[in-house]
């Protein structure tokens, strides 16, 4: 596992550059997911603009204005925050404190914050002064939908994170009550559907305000959403962020996290060996001291611990079927002997690497959507197809993941499964309505 780039460069090149601890691999892959989405979305919007489905909008802007107090203030605050935290991480962070904990603390480098804030004030003043006119004037500019991709991605990022944290907090109320600050400001705990729903609402509102036809925007966004999710899941797998599946009882792992095949009695023996781990959720405080709080992985008995025995074919690496996530970013599991790094833990038993499976499935679904996008002539069908495919993919992957279950009409379903069902139904309805409207207008 590579919780951050420090571990990646250490493993690949044998160097130990502590400054690379700042770059979390999960965050980097999420960023790459947004970049992938931006590229695909921009390409699709341009294609629809050439077809005449999306039109530009003229907006009046004022040019030649000097830097206002608000411009300078915003730049100073931005520079101060970045300098205060970034240089604090590099120069002042104690080794025993994680980067995420330090970011959400009050600690930082005051001098660096002030200097960077003043630098950004100077840059903004120079930029505005360079284009200042004796008499500021208004000009009309033509803005195409693809020119707004940057704004759309930023809205998706902000409201996606807010929605993901909100839905995760709702799903894990016990954790929220036990440690509200730690849960809200932790780097983990992101519910994909929460982010998707809130980001969709924000982007649709933005598109409506800017005169972009929603049906064409959502069709263009459908393949972008699929590839962004596939890329983001790489971060989950590489960092070991806890988004893994149930135990694969056909395998056990040794103290170092190396996986080997086993019999059912051998698996049960290992299960009993780490009974406290399975019956109580473990949160690392410092060193080897743990506190215990209830989570989705809290079970009433060892018999209730979910597992499924699946032996993979010999030509596949074992980690594709069962993985113990050594050196995971959550510091979850048993201590690895002889390891003195920050993330020296591996799961006591191997699990299904569901994030890896989702990357594969969603990449294939994206390629299918990309191949057929020009053949789907009816507006709304592509987005309806995305809702259906995404719903089915998530519904079935949830069968080998551990989550809180809710009773709905006699069925025991996770939050993601419930939302997935609604997405599938919504997709079917959207396609039916789109085809009916198209047939009437034809």
Burial of 407 (0-12, 13-18, 19+ CB in 10 A): exposed
Residues 248, 350 contacting (CB under 8 angstroms): yes
Residues 89, 22 contacting (CB under 8 angstroms): yes
Render the burial of 41-51: b for 16+ CB within 10 Å, e for the rest: bbbbbbebbee
> How many other CB atoms sit within 10 Å of the CB of residue 55?
12
Task: Give backbone dihedrals phi and psi of 28, rounded to 5 degrees, phi first.
Answer: -65, -40
Predicted local distance difference test score (pLDDT) of residue 234: 94
- pLDDT 10s digit of each residue in the chain, 442 long? 898 888 888 888 888 887 787 788 887 898 899 899 999 999 999 999 999 999 999 988 888 888 899 999 999 998 998 888 878 877 776 655 656 566 667 788 899 999 999 999 999 999 888 888 888 888 888 999 999 999 998 888 888 878 877 766 665 666 555 655 555 555 444 456 677 788 889 999 999 999 999 999 999 999 999 999 999 999 999 998 878 999 999 999 999 999 999 999 999 999 999 888 887 554 444 444 444 444 446 677 888 889 999 999 999 999 999 999 999 988 888 899 998 888 889 999 999 999 999 999 999 999 999 999 999 999 999 999 999 999 999 999 999 987 777 777 777 788 788 889 999 999 999 999 999 998 887 6
Residues 4, 22 contacting (CB under 8 angstroms): yes
Cα angle 2-165-356, degrees, rounded to a multiple of 5 = 35
> Shortest CA distance to 71 belongs to which of 120, 116, 110, 111?
120
Burial of 70 (0-12, 13-18, 19+ CB in 10 A): exposed
Residues 257, 346 contacting (CB under 8 angstroms): yes
> How many other CB atoms sit within 10 Å of the CB of residue 255?
12
Burial of 295 (0-12, 13-18, 19+ CB in 10 A): middle
Following DSSP, what letter does each residue of 67-130 receive, concatenated?
Answer: PPHHHHHHHHHHHHHHHHHHHHHHHT--TTS-HHHHHTSS---HHHHHHHHHHHHHHHHHHHHH
Domain ranges of the chain: 5-56+144-241+357-441, 247-352
> How many other CB atoms sit within 10 Å of the CB of residue 350?
29
Number of Cα atoms under 13 Å in the Cβ half of residue 263: 2
Report yes or no on whether pTM surpasses 0.85: no
Distances 72 to 67, 75, 78, 400 between C-alpha atoms, Å: 7, 5, 10, 52
Predicted local distance difference test score (pLDDT) of residue 293: 40
C-alpha–C-alpha distance, residues 143 and 438, integer Å: 29
β-bridge pairing 251-253 and 334-335: unpaired
Q: Coil, strand, or helix at residue 411?
A: strand
């Amino acid at each position: 596992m590579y919780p951050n780039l420090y571990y990646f460069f250490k493993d690949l090149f044998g160097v130990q550059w502590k400054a690379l601890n700042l770059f979390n691999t999960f965050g980097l892959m999420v960023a790459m997911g947004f970049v992938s989405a931006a590229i695909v979305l921009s390409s699709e919007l341009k294609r629809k603009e050439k077809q005449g489905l999306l039109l530009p909008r003229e907006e009046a802007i004022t040019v030649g204005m000097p830097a206002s107090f608000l411009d300078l203030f915003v730049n100073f605050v931005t520079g101060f925050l970045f300098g205060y935290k970034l240089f604090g991480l590099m120069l002042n962070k104690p080794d025993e404190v994680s980067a995420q904990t330090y970011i959400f603390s009050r600690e930082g480098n005051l001098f660096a914050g002030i200097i960077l804030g003043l630098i950004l004030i100077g840059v903004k003043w120079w930029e505005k002064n360079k284009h200042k006119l004796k008499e500021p004037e208004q000009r009309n500019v033509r803005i195409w939908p693809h020119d707004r991709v940057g704004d759309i991605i930023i809205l998706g990022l902000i409201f996606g994170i807010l929605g993901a944290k909100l839905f995760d907090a709702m799903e894990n109320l016990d954790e929220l009550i036990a440690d509200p600050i730690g849960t809200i400001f932790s780097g983990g705990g992101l519910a994909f559907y929460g982010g998707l729903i809130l980001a969709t609402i924000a982007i649709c509102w933005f598109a409506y305000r800017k005169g972009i036809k929603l049906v064409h925007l959502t069709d263009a966004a459908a393949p972008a959403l699929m590839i962004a999710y596939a890329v983001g899941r790489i971060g989950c797998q590489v960092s070991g962020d806890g988004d893994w599946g149930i135990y694969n009882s056909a395998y056990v792992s040794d103290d170092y996290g190396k996986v080997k095949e086993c019999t059912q009695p051998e698996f049960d023996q290992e299960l009993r060996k780490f009974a406290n781990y399975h019956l109580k959720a473990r949160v690392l405080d410092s060193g080897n001291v743990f506190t215990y709080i209830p989570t989705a992985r809290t079970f009433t008995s060892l018999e209730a611990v979910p597992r499924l025995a699946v032996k993979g074919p010999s030509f596949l690496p074992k980690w594709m079927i069962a993985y113990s996530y050594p050196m995971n970013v959550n510091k979850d599991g048993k201590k690895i002997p002889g390891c003195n790094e920050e993330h020296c833990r591996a799961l006591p038993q191997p699990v299904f690497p569901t994030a890896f499976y989702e990357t594969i499935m969603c990449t294939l679904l994206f390629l299918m959507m990309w191949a057929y996008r020009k053949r789907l002539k009816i507006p709304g069908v592509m987005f309806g197809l995305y809702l259906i495919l995404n719903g089915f993919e998530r519904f079935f992957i949830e069968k080998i993941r551990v989550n809180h279950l809710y009773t709905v009409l006699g069925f025991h379903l996770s939050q993601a499964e419930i939302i997935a069902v609604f997405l599938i139904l919504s997709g079917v309805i959207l396609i039916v309505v789109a085809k009916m409207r198209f047939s009437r207008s034809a």
